[in-house]
DNA sequence: ATAACTTGCGTCATTCATGTTGCAAGTCAT
DNA sequence: ATGACTTGCAACATGAATGACGCAAGTTAT
């Protein structure tokens, strides 16, 4: 997909800029390019060299996050692994990405068709997984799958705000999300 | 609270501007004042006459929405009505406000202490209501009340995106929110 | 080692949003 | 009806963000 492999130099710079953009813009979506450059430890002109315009940077940020999102779901093998396992693994993986790239994933008006395509793909995978969960008897067959998916996204979004560090904490978070999704507030599940 | 009662003229203009700001900014938070003025059907200078700066307008918008939010919860008598009734009524009322003032309520970095105070008040009312629901046996006593409240907010936020018109639709939405909150995805409650 | 590339810095042009003011015409309250 | 207030319009001032250059110094790959 990349006809010309980037120089090691360049790649480091691009990554630094994207990470800085996530950090700065999540605090203030209207932050000027200069703040992003400063946070990335580069000159403002360098940002403009890598990303022609502010819009291009935002767009690239969205595409980058969408890619990580897609990888996170793929890694859970939602179409082949046992559905309850896949749901748990996908939750953990997506939580990780969302904690680090929350702005780029959520508060971004991504009008890019390429990004929309990835999100549609993930949505389709999510819905297939829910159907598999229904077949396994984990979800009632009369459940509204669209509402289910929206609640699932919303719970992940909410949980990611806690932004814990350790693996154990993220496991606990994922467990809580799935518990709440399937059984609502109340006693934790004893499976 | 208002030492000088506004002229009928002025009040209409102010309301039109606030409503336009909600509409325009929810579509594009960085929209220039001119777009807001246009949407309100007034000249740009008039907006500046009523609100000294952009920041002042945003702040007033947040304060206005916070007020409606507070009224919505108050009207449900959360401290005196039977807790399940209060929960339902508060959900319906807040959904109404949130549908019309979603931007001002949610996507607003309200640093104003006055607004923060109102939100804190509502949060306290919400938590008292949850305790009453625990006492009534509707919520397990081992529930994490903070997580519960955050999920409740998130579900209302998500439900409000459907933005239905009729009373019946909002009733259905509130029922779904509470059902999901208490029992998770699955068969609807048969109370 | 060398050729190609990248970066930082200073500089400049341009565009755009914001905020202000004065005045004529219209609206409101009493 | 009258005095006070509000609005639209046009014009102006200002500041900030964006984006583009060229050049000297440093880095990378082969």
Give the pLDDT confidence score for residue A190 in this predicted structure: 44
Q: Does residue A95 form part of some domain?
A: yes
As a whole number, the mean pLDDT across chain A is 94
Confidence of residue B108 (pLDDT cuts 50, 70, 90): confident
Give the pLDDT confidence score for residue B94 in this predicted structure: 98
B46 and B105, same structural domain?
A: no
Chain B residues inside the 8 Å CB shell of A180: 147, 151, 184
**Cβ <8 Å between A176 and B147:** yes
The CATH number given to whatever domain includes residue A106 is 1.10.357
Confidence of residue A110 (pLDDT cuts 50, 70, 90): confident
| pLDDT (average), residues A101-110 | 89
Number of structural domains chain B divides into:
2
- The whole-angstrom separation of Cα B72 and Cα B94 is 6
Could you tell me the two tokens for B161?
């995106």
Question: Is residue B166 scored above 70 in pLDDT?
Answer: yes
Residue A190 DSSP SS3? coil
Give the pLDDT confidence score for residue A28 in this predicted structure: 95
Task: Output the distance from A59 CA to C11 C1' rounded to whole Å.
Answer: 29
Name the percent of chain B lying above pLDDT 90: 88
| pLDDT (average), residues A135-159 | 96
Q: Which of the nucleotides lies closest to B45 (Cα–C1')?
A: D8
B161 and B92, same structural domain?
A: yes
Question: Is residue B190 scored above 70 in pLDDT?
Answer: no
- Final residue before a domain boundary, out of A51, A72, A89: A51
> Is residue A158 less than 8 Å (CB to CB) from chain B?
yes
A41 and A76, same structural domain?
A: no
Question: Is residue A109 scored above 90 in pLDDT?
Answer: no
Confidence of residue B187 (pLDDT cuts 50, 70, 90): low
Confidence of residue A107 (pLDDT cuts 50, 70, 90): confident
B125 and B98, same structural domain?
A: yes
- The whole-angstrom separation of Cα B109 and Cα B46 is 25
Chain A residues inside the 8 Å CB shell of B30: 29-30
End-to-end CA, chain B: 44
| A151 vs B112 pLDDT, higher one | A151
Q: Which of the nucleotides lies closest to B44 (Cα–C1')?
A: D8
Question: Is residue A191 scored above 70 in pLDDT?
Answer: no
Residue A148 Cα, gap to closest chain B Cα (Å): 7
**Cβ <8 Å between A151 and B176:** no
Give the pLDDT confidence score for residue B191 in this predicted structure: 42
Residue B139 Cα, gap to closest chain A Cα (Å): 6
- The whole-angstrom separation of Cα B23 and Cα B73 is 23
Q: Does residue B189 form part of some domain?
A: no
B169 and B88, same structural domain?
A: yes
Chain B residues inside the 8 Å CB shell of A25: none
Q: Does residue B141 form part of some domain?
A: yes
Indicate if CB(B32) is under 7 A from strand C: yes
Q: Does residue B129 form part of some domain?
A: yes
> Is residue A157 less than 8 Å (CB to CB) from chain B?
yes
B156 and B120, same structural domain?
A: yes
B46 and B66, same structural domain?
A: no
Q: Which of the nucleotides lies closest to A34 (Cα–C1')?
A: D17
Give the DSSP letter string of A22-34: HHHHHH-TT--HH
B104 and B80, same structural domain?
A: yes
Q: Does residue B190 form part of some domain?
A: no
> Is residue A143 less than 8 Å (CB to CB) from chain B?
yes
Confidence of residue A6 (pLDDT cuts 50, 70, 90): confident
Indicate if CB(A2) is under 7 A from strand C: no
| pLDDT (average), residues B119-127 | 97
> Is residue A30 less than 8 Å (CB to CB) from chain B?
yes
Q: Exposure pattern of B125-163 as b/e (b: 16+ CB <10 Å)?
A: bbeebbebbbeeebbeeebeeebbbbbbbbbbbbbbeee
Give the pLDDT confidence score for residue A70 in this predicted structure: 98
Indicate if CB(A45) is under 7 A from strand C: yes
Residues B134 and B141: beta-carbon distance below 8 Å: yes
Give the pLDDT confidence score for residue A168 in this predicted structure: 96
B158 and B85, same structural domain?
A: yes
Residue B159 Cα, gap to closest chain A Cα (Å): 9
Question: Is residue B24 scored above 70 in pLDDT?
Answer: yes
| A5 vs B59 pLDDT, higher one | B59
Confidence of residue A2 (pLDDT cuts 50, 70, 90): low
Nearest to A155 among B139, B143, B151 (CB): B151
Give the pLDDT confidence score for residue A185 in this predicted structure: 87
B74 and B167, same structural domain?
A: yes
Range of the domain at A137: 62-183
| pLDDT (average), residues B77-94 | 98
Which segments of B51-190 are extended strands (E)? Answer: none
Give the pLDDT confidence score for residue B62 in this predicted structure: 97
Give the pLDDT confidence score for residue B141 in this predicted structure: 93
The CATH number given to whatever domain includes residue B15 is 1.10.10
Confidence of residue B110 (pLDDT cuts 50, 70, 90): confident
Question: Is residue A1 scored above 90 in pLDDT?
Answer: no
Q: Which of the nucleotides lies closest to B5 (Cα–C1')?
A: C29
Give the pLDDT confidence score for residue B188 in this predicted structure: 59
A86 and A39, same structural domain?
A: no
Confidence of residue A69 (pLDDT cuts 50, 70, 90): very high
> Interhelix angle for B145-160 vs A145-160, to 10°?
130
Name the percent of chain A lying above pLDDT 70: 95
- A11 to A7, A51, A127, B110: CA distances (angstroms): 6, 13, 35, 38
> Is residue A90 less than 8 Å (CB to CB) from chain B?
no
> Is residue B190 less than 8 Å (CB to CB) from chain A?
no
Question: Is residue B189 scored above 60 in pLDDT?
Answer: no
Q: Does residue A22 form part of some domain?
A: yes
B95 and B150, same structural domain?
A: yes
Q: Does residue B191 form part of some domain?
A: no
As a whole number, the mean pLDDT across chain B is 94
Q: What would the pLDDT profile of B44-59 be if each residue is shown by its tens digit?
A: 999 999 999 999 999 9
- Final residue before a domain boundary, out of B26, B51, B76: B51
Q: Does residue B1 form part of some domain?
A: yes
**Cβ <8 Å between B187 and A142:** yes
Strand C: which positions are within 7 A of a protein CB?
Answer: 5-11, 16-22, 27-29
């Amino acid at each position: 997909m990349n006809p010309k492999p980037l120089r090691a130099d360049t790649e480091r710079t691009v990554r630094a800029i994207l990470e800085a953009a996530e950090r700065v813009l999540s605090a203030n979506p209207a932050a000027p390019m200069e703040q992003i450059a400063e946070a990335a430890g580069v000159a403002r002109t360098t940002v403009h060299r890598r990303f022609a315009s502010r819009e291009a940077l935002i767009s690239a940020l969205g595409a980058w996050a969408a890619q990580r999102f897609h990888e996170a779901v793929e890694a859970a093998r939602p179409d082949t692994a046992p559905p309850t396992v896949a749901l748990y693994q996908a939750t953990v993986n997506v939580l990780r990405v969302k904690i680090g790239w929350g702005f780029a994933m959520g508060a971004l008006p991504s009008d890019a068709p390429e990004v929309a395509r990835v999100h549609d793909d993930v949505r389709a995978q999510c819905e297939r997984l829910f159907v598999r969960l229904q077949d396994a008897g984990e979800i009632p067959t009369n459940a509204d799958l669209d509402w289910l998916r929206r609640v699932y996204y919303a719970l992940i979004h909410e949980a990611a705000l806690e932004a814990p560090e350790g693996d154990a904490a993220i496991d606990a978070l994922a467990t809580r999300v799935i518990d709440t999704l399937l059984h609502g507030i109340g006693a934790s599940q004893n499976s």
